[in-house]
Structures are given as C-alpha cells and as structure tokens.
Structure 1
Amino acid sequence: MTAKVIEQFILDDLLLGMRQDPIAPDESLISSGILDSLALLRLITFLEERFGIAIEDHEVMQENFETIARMEAFVAAKQPA
C-alpha cells in the first residue's frame, strides 16, 4: 500500500501526469531524472505528512530515496510498531 501511495504522488504531483506507465518498485528515480533536488524536498514533505514520520537531515541520502521499494522500506522503519 505504501509503495502505491508513493508512486501515485510521484506520477500525479511531481510528474504532473506526464507519465502514464507505472513506475517499477526498483526503477532508479534519481539517475532517471524523475527526482531532482526540488522534487526530493517535495517528496520528503509529502512522506512526513502522509505517514506521520520525521525525516532527519542525515537520513536524506540516495540509498533511502533511490527507488520506491527503498522508500517503502525506509518509511516502514520510521513508523512506530
């Protein structure tokens, strides 16, 4: 469910509906140019608000945001059990 919510935000809000095909969970969002620095800031704000988590500055690194699968795991680890 988390992955689908993240994907939908990227497609609708960051790509403004310009891409119709789904984003694979392991597709590189940074090297493909889908996520740039401004888009990453918008995505972080969305994740914090939507999932009720706080993302610290030191956690903003490529390994946490490279793919939807990595973001899903990161969000799951940040949420209370």
Structure 2
Amino acid sequence: MNTSTLIERFVIEELMLGGRKGKIDPDESLIRSGILDSLSLLRLIVYLEEQFGLTVEDSEVIPGNFETLNSMEVFVKSKMRAH
C-alpha cells in the first residue's frame, strides 16, 4: 500500500470513525472541513511516526504539512528521504 493510501485510510477509519464512504479528495483541506482539529492532529502525528518510522519536530507541525492528503504525503516522503 502506498503512503497516500495509508494516510487516507487512517484519516477515514480512525479520525472520522469510518463516517465517510469512498475516498477523500487529496486536495481537500482537512483543517477547514473540520476533519483535523488539534486532538486529531496529535493522533495523526503519532500514527505517522509509528507507521513510517519518522520523527515530527514541533517546528514541522504547521498547516502546510498537514492541510491535505497531498501535503501530508509530500511531508512524509521528504522525511523518509532525509533518514
């Protein structure tokens, strides 16, 4: 399974509790749509760190890295390349 699919599955199943059927538009703002709030962002960060073996620094917790599925995929892949 690719990075984007893993992130999307976590968002749908864990953060939205399976409340959405189908897929999320990869450019949809998860913050503006209310899917990501401060608590769900923390859960997402823990998931990303565990799933992909990376460390998210406090300075990296900015909307640009977590706004959309696409931005999260770019962020995770850049962190994995830096390892």
Pairwise CA RMSD: 0.9
Q: What is the CA–CA distance in structure 2 between the aligned matches of 1:17 and 1:63, rounded to whole Å?
A: 25
Q: What is the CA–CA distance in structure 2 between the aligned matches of 1:80 and 1:37, rounded to whole Å?
A: 27
* Number of aligned residue pairs: 81
Q: What is the CA–CA distance in structure 1 between the aligned matches of 2:33 and 2:81, rounded to whole Å?
A: 32
TM-score, with length taken from structure 2 = 0.94
Report the alpha carbon displacement of residue 21 of structure 1 after superposing the two structures with TM: 2.6
Which structure 1 residue ranges, 5 or more long, are not aligned?
none
Q: Percent identity?
A: 57
Report the alpha carbon displacement of residue 20 of structure 1 after superposing the two structures with TM: 0.7
Aligned to 1:50: 51
Q: What is the CA–CA distance in structure 2 between the aligned matches of 1:19 and 1:80, rounded to whole Å?
A: 32
> Which contiguous aligned blocks of 4+ residues in structure 1 show a shift greater than 4 angstroms?
none
1:59 aligns with 2:60: yes
Which structure 2 residue ranges, 5 or more long, are not aligned?
none
